[in-house]
Structure formats: C-alpha cells, structure tokens
Amino acid sequence: MKLRNRIFYTLKPFIPRIMQLFLRRKLVQHQAERCRDVWPIDEGAAAAPAGWTGWPEGKRFALVLTHDVDTARGFERCLALADVEERLGFRSSFNFVPLRYTIAEAVLAKLRERGFEIGVHGLYHDGKYYESRDVFLERAEKINQYLKKWDCAGYRAPCMLHKLDWFHDLNIEYDASTFDTDPFEPNACGARTIFPFMVTGEGTKHRYVEMPYTLPQDFTLFILMREQGIDVWRRKLEWVASHGGVVLMNTHPDYMNMNGQACGREEYPVRYYEQILRHIRDAYQGQYWHVLPRDLARHWVQAAHDARRDARTLRMLVSEGQTSGAAGSGRIINLEGGTRPL
Ligand SMILES: [Zn+2]
C-alpha cells in the first residue's frame, strides 16, 4: 500500500465521515491525473489467455453483474434493485456482510427464487483481516459458516483488500476481490487482466477462480469523482467488449438513490445504472454471454480442464509423431494463471 494511502486508512476510523469523503476526493483527484495511462483503461490488461477458445455460443464477451451490500441502507434497497434488473432482463449477485447489519433470510430467499445469486462480503466491513494468520483463520471459519448457510459459491473482500493465497482457507469456487485496474483502491495493485484466472495453492489441492471486476466501481465514479453520467462506463465497456473479456460490474445499492428525490451526499441516481444496462441490452444485443458469477466460475474450471486435456492430447500426438502444424506453432495452453503476486 502506498504511504499516503496507508496514512489515510490508518487514521480513517478517527476521521468524521464528511472529512473522510473530502480527503478521499482530494486523493482521487491527485491520483487520477497521475494514472491516466492505466485508468480506466490499462492496455496491458487486454490479452486473452493462451489457449483461449472463446465464450459459449460464439458470444463476443461475457457480462457479469455484482453488488456489494455494505450497510443496512443497501440491504433495504436490494429487492428494488433486483426489480430494476429484472425489468431489463438481467440477473446479478448480491454480496452481504454477515455481521454488520441485520440480514432478513426472507429477502435472500426471494432473491434466490428470482434467479439472483447470493455471496459473502467479508464478515465485518473492516480492513483487519490480515493482522495475523490467526486472525484471518478465525474469521475464515465464520465466513465459511455463512458460505454454507447461504449456499454461496463466491466471496468478495471488504474494500477489495485481498490476499489470494490465504483465500484457500475459504470454501469458495470463486473470489471477485481483484480488478484489472483500479489505482484508487487501498490495495491498488491490479490483476492486469480482463479474463478470470485459476488460483492454485502451494501444498494444497484447493483451487478457485479469480474474477477481476473490469468496470469502475460506482462509488469511485459518482461519489468520489462526481461524474454526472455514464461516459466512463460506456468507454470501458466498449474496450472490454472489443477485446472479448468479461465486463464485470460491481455496484452498491447503498449509494443508489431510488426514490427520484434529491440525492444524499453519498448517493447517485439509479438511472445511471439503468442507462448502462439499457445501453448494453440495446447496443450489444446478441453479442454477450450474460451469466451469474458462479456459472462463469464453473465454466472457467471446465474450460481450464478441457485446455489441459487438449494440451495432453497434443503432447501425445506429438510424441507419436502424428501432427505437424499445431505442435510446431508453440501454442501454450494456459487458462490457469496460477497464483499471481497480488
Ligand atoms: Zn464493501
């Protein structure tokens, strides 16, 4: 973590919220100028993994919608947000913080019934997961209980603070705590890819799929940068689509103003979100594979498995001298990614 960031996040609990916002806005302004080459688009993140054969049904790109529900206010708005998406023909996942606010099981049941996915977003919404292995393991055990109770496949860390090699202690099929590029996060190191990748552990057989989010977060754009429209989202969407990656959005009902009245200090009009969904639906009709994150994770595991099998077949064919072209092309089949230094 950069020194300026570290100072801010150490002092954060002692700073009133309005002052936090003021400081973060200043910080973001400063960072945005310095990071123009890598945000919102990092050209270095475009490459498809070697051996990549494309999305189901020949679709041009994949679309995944996710939400982190950070507060009780966000929880109250979940069903209304689900209505917005359902009306436009979309589904998403909602990630909840088990011990921060009251979670009505009936709401989770309704979301599931309507085809939405449930995920876990930490245990508390703080940054104290990595003070020691013991602290993490103690929390991991409780997180696992909620993963099981809510029948979840996926996880996202609060504030995106992640240690991918530690996440092997979570019973997950996927994690979505990384991003292709987002210099405004406390842990600003991007995964530099718009594709998922497998995270395999040393000394453990546990593997999971890592899925970076690829469109900027709503909080960054509309609350910190005070953008007045969806131009940045549209531009990044077009870029990810043109490179055939995953358009993975992370938005928060907490900050969406849904009653049409004047927005509060930390709110933006829900119509921005509706506009981007409409834009995707109308301008990219028939071009995207819209999928829940858990289904994308399962697809990716299968694709990695198939690629390994193809690689083995190829090696066998080569050793038996039955092929000429493909073996000589030097194609490396690697959807694995491995553990990245994040
Ligand atoms: Zn959060």
Question: Which pLDDT score is estimated for 277?
Answer: 98
Q: Contact, 234 vs 276, CB < 8 A?
A: yes
Question: What integer is the mean pLDDT of 146-173?
Answer: 97
CA–CA distance, 21 with 143 (Å, rounded to integer): 29
What's the CA-to-centroid distance between 293 and ligand 1, angstroms?
Answer: 17
Q: Name the pLDDT band for 322 (thresholds 50, 70, 90).
A: very low
Question: Which pLDDT score is estimated for 328?
Answer: 32
Question: What integer is the mean pLDDT of 302-331?
Answer: 63
| Length of the chain (residues) | 342
Give the chain's mean pLDDT.
Answer: 90
Question: What integer is the mean pLDDT of 236-252?
Answer: 98
What's the CA-to-centroid distance between 314 and ligand 1, angstroms?
Answer: 44
User: Is the predicted pLDDT of residue 327 greater than 60, yes or no?
Assistant: no
What's the CA-to-centroid distance between 236 and ligand 1, angstroms?
Answer: 22
Question: What integer is the mean pLDDT of 289-304?
Answer: 96
Q: Contact, 140 vs 169, CB < 8 A?
A: yes
What's the CA-to-centroid distance between 172 and ligand 1, angstroms?
Answer: 18
**Which of 192, 175, 163, 185 has its CA nearest to residue 44?**
192
Question: Which pLDDT score is estimated for 307?
Answer: 85
What's the CA-to-centroid distance between 23 and ligand 1, angstroms?
Answer: 19
What's the CA-to-centroid distance between 93 and ligand 1, angstroms?
Answer: 14
pLDDT tens column, 175-215 = 999 999 999 998 888 999 999 999 998 777 889 999 999 99
CA–CA distance, 131 with 138 (Å, rounded to integer): 12
What's the CA-to-centroid distance between 101 and ligand 1, angstroms?
Answer: 13
User: Is the predicted pLDDT of residue 232 greater than 50, yes or no?
Assistant: yes
> In this predicted model, which residue has the larger pLDDT, 171 or 11?
171
Question: Which pLDDT score is estimated for 333?
Answer: 40
56-60, 194-198, 263-267, 325-329: least confident range: 325-329
CATH superfamily to which 35-298 belongs? Glycoside hydrolase/deacetylase (3.20.20.370)
What's the CA-to-centroid distance between 318 and ligand 1, angstroms?
Answer: 50
User: Is the predicted pLDDT of residue 330 greater than 50, yes or no?
Assistant: no
Q: Please report the DSSP string for 41-96 in residue order.
A: --GGG-PPPTT----GGG-SEEEEEEEEE-SHHHHHTHHHHHHHHHHTT---EEEE
Q: Name the pLDDT band for 337 (thresholds 50, 70, 90).
A: low
CA–CA distance, 177 with 138 (Å, rounded to integer): 20
pLDDT tens column, 114-127 = 999 999 999 999 88
The neighbourhood of ligand 1, an ion, using CB within 5 A, equals 68, 70, 158
- Cβ contacts of 228 within 8 Å, gap of 6 or more: none
Question: Which pLDDT score is estimated for 335?
Answer: 63
22-36, 68-82, 154-168: least confident range: 22-36
Question: Which pLDDT score is estimated for 136?
Answer: 97
Q: Name the pLDDT band for 132 (thresholds 50, 70, 90).
A: very high
Domain ranges of the chain: 35-298
> In this predicted model, which residue has the larger pLDDT, 6 or 243?
243
User: Is the predicted pLDDT of residue 340 greater than 60, yes or no?
Assistant: no
Which H or E element spans position 119?
strand 117-120
What's the CA-to-centroid distance between 95 and ligand 1, angstroms?
Answer: 9
pLDDT tens column, 11-30 = 777 778 888 899 999 999 99
Question: What integer is the mean pLDDT of 219-240?
Answer: 97
